[in-house]
Structure 1
């Protein structure tokens, strides 16, 4: 190692130490995804080109969390660009984050790509998943239960700026056996994108808001998917009238 290389190496070492101890301040971003494992809140990807492979996290340990000036940390980057997609927690030890993506390192994929991040080893892998692999999509939502299953619903096929290929199917990724299973389409709601998905303790996933083409979906109609018996239903909300939104 010559003098210049030694100089650069020393400065890189100092920078890495500063990053590990004091964290850093990431630039602004949008259309990222997040997942909480233990005391680390991870954020993946971004619409911004320079941050599309970012894997950063906040240490949210309550006893040491500085709510005024929290510290960010950088982890191993994602194997491919990641945006307009979803991340969920699964695996036998509930310490693996699964990214459901429509992009590979070579561009758009025809089927959904799954990347797995081992939060203990801080390593990425592309698991070999059996079953009926869903078509790739973006602007969908996915949630995970406590039994290693991830439920992915909605979205639209990319690239398709006319939004005329919108999905209302639901797919279940069982992360314990690494298999895709198609859920029930009986009484499924209309296709949609840009909505929220929330899994309640009773096993109901609530899907609220969203868009279909140029139209937004009324907040009073709340489709629900019951993960206990794999069935769809619709709740009609009362009370204050809310405008449709996505």
Structure 2
């Protein structure tokens, strides 16, 4: 009897569990970057190609060159003239040589050439923040960044929450700053929320965590849905049958250009619990699919998966 023994070397890349990573979908590829592993900031960067049949028991990930910095709690968005670039904004970004906070607020990855750069952005640079939302408008190449917070690790003396809107022109590489009057109606200062651009040009802001006047953290009412109209020229707040308007000035290179509109909805339907740290995507049928999240006590929100119908005059949970 002849016995043959074959020894094969099998190389595989195992993805460890991540906290505070960020994701971007370009075409069929879902890119994941940064995060925290075993209490340490990470710079891993990989993608999964959904054009390949998906095996949930053994998904095939593809590793890319690491991010130039260790990063977590940032936000990332598609952008650029050909919508083939990933813009990574804010969060904690530490230099790899000494673990100090990076001076760069934006890093950009070219998905065609597979290169990272730290682009120079003209205009007034916003304050660094974490857990902000970002969404891309393909009609003008603008990335809309809303809210977020700071912590002492970001070289701030205290925790601050924001409710300003920042716009990054990902084609011209410039900051477009919105300046709100003191009496303008706007969402509360919040972080860990989501922002989703729907087909009519509205950005839908859902959930998150906010800070009270006495600096306590609380959940944002999940049924209070804010809309930001990217097409019009005013801020608008609707509650029940009452509508209030407030101006908001948009500055491009210190020149007043136009106002913006905000609109608030209260969702109806099945009961869902408050949440932050969730994800939200626009489905092909126009609904917003929301997954995961937890409340300020770190208790998982229920149900895990919720769907928001934004086609009705009053939004509905399905």
What TM-score, normalized by structure 2, do the two folds share? 0.65
**Cα gap change, 1:216 to 1:162, in 2 (>3 Å):** farther
Match of 2:123 among 114, 121, 131: 131
Specify the alignment match of 2:299 in structure 1. none
Farther-moved stretch of structure 1 (146-155 vs 88-97): 146-155
Residue by residue, what CA displacement relative to the aligned partner does 1:6-52 show, whole Å, maximum 9, x if unpaired? xxxxxxxxx9xx76xxx522111121001112222110001225561
5+ long unaligned stretches in structure 2: 1-8, 212-216, 233-259, 277-318
Further displaced range: 210-219 or 122-131: 210-219
Greater RCO between the two (CA within 8 Å, min separation 6)? 1
Identify the residue that residue 173 of structure 1 maps to in structure 2.
168
Change (3 A) 1:208 1:74: same
Residue among 63, 69, 76 paired with 1:87: 76
**Distance of 1:29 and 1:107 partners within structure 2:** 21
SS in 1 for 2:70: coil
Deviation at 1:241, TM superposition (A): 3.6
What are the equivalent positions in structure 2 for 1:142-161 lying under 5 Å apart? 142-146=134-138, 147-159=140-152
Structure index of larger Rg: 2
Q: Residue in 2 aligned with 1:28? A: 17
Residue matched to 2:85: 96
What is the correspondence of 1:198-217 to structure 2 with a 5 Å cutoff?
A: 198-213=196-211, 214-217=217-220
- The CA distance in 1 between the partners of 2:61 and 2:40, in whole Å, is 17
User: What is the deviation of 1:70?
Assistant: 2.2
Change in CA separation of 1:243 and 1:71 when aligned onto 2, cut-off 3 Å: closer
**Pairing 1:225–2:214 present:** no
C-alpha distance in structure 1 between counterparts of 2:48 and 2:264, whole Å: 37
Instruction: Tell me what 1:53 maps to.
Output: 43
Q: How many residues align?
A: 226
Name the CA distance, whole Å, in 2 between partners of 1:218 and 1:45.
Answer: 29
- The 8 Å contact of residues 208 and 275 in structure 2, kept in 1 or not, is answered as yes
Cα distance change on mapping 1:164 and 1:31 into 2, 3 Å: closer
Residue 185 of structure 2 aligns to a residue whose secondary structure is: coil
CA distance 1:245–1:67, change in 2 (3 Å): closer
Structure number with higher strand proportion: 2
Whichever structure has more helix as a proportion of its residues is 1
CA distance 1:189–1:127, shift in 2 (3 Å)? same
Cα distance, 1:60 vs. partner?
1.3
Instruction: Work out which of the residue numbers 61, 74, 86 in structure 2 matches 1:72.
Output: 61
Check 1:67–1:242 CA distance in 2 against 1; reply closer, same or farther (3 A cut). closer
2:108 corresponds to which residue?
Answer: 116
Q: 1:66 to 1:138 in 2, by over 3 A?
A: same
Per-residue deviation, 1:65: 4.1
